[in-house]
Amino acid sequence: MQTPSEFVREQVTTVRETVDRVAGSVAETVAAAPGVTVRATQVGNYIREQRSAARVSLRELARTAGVSNPYLSQVERGLRKPSAEILASIARGLKISAETLYEQAGILDRRSGNPDTMAAIRSDSALSERHKAVLLELYETYVREHAASTTPDSSRPTSGPSSVAQPPTKESARPPPRP
């Protein structure tokens, strides 16, 4: 004869197996559906990578982000496309920039610049989110300015004297002779 705890344990195991089997078939059906986008899968994979790198469990991240375990699992598998608000909550739980998740989800355009440099700024735990945002903005500005200075500008003359003002020389500093 089984004890009550053994009976409950056996029932729980049976229910879990059934739920896993049904969830697996539902996931396959949803993944095959045309509405599931590559972006949803991309952001889900990125969230899973960040969660693994931070050594945070799915349950712990769901709790800190204020979403359910099944929902977060579906996001990671690309079955759900989270809203910007949910992405911000997940970013707070992962202690990363919400902007990063917005870019992965396609909500925000990717910034110009070296992705490794940007990732290094975003992953620096010594910086606050505000400092990271400011550094990323400055970096992007420098990259844009550098790109603009290295590409030829059609408004500048290609030959002849330079259109850039030059400092006065001795000759140009003298007043013109009187008639």
Mean pLDDT of 2-14: 82
What pLDDT score does 164 carry? Answer: 46
Angle, vertex CA 174, rays to CA 173 and CA 176, nearest 5 = 125
Using CA atoms, how far apart are residues 12 and 165, in angstroms rounded to an integer? 82
pLDDT greater than 80 at residue 24: no
pLDDT greater than 60 at residue 121: yes
Burial 104-120 (b: 16+ CB within 10 A, else e): bbebeeeeebeeeebee
**Residue-wise pLDDT tens digits, 123-136:** 788 888 778 878 87
Q: Where is mean pLDDT largest: 30-44, 77-91, 142-156, 165-179?
A: 77-91
Mean pLDDT of 100-105: 80
Q: By percentage, how much of the chain surpasses pLDDT 70?
A: 68
Q: Select the more confidently predicted residue: 142 or 164.
A: 142
What pLDDT score does 100 carry? Answer: 77
Pick from 31-35, 88-92, 174-178: least confident: 31-35
What pLDDT score does 108 carry? Answer: 72
**Reported pTM:** 0.47
What pLDDT score does 25 carry? Answer: 59
What pLDDT score does 165 carry? Answer: 47
CA distances from 54 to 91, 96, 159 (A): 12, 10, 57
**Who's near 44: CB < 8 A, 6+ residues apart?**
75, 76, 77, 78, 79
Q: Select the more confidently predicted residue: 115 or 84.
A: 84
Using CA atoms, how far apart are residues 1 and 75, in angstroms rounded to an integer? 43
Q: Select the more confidently predicted residue: 168 or 45.
A: 45
**Residue-wise pLDDT tens digits, 39-90:** 667 888 889 988 888 899 999 999 999 999 999 999 999 888 888 899 999 9
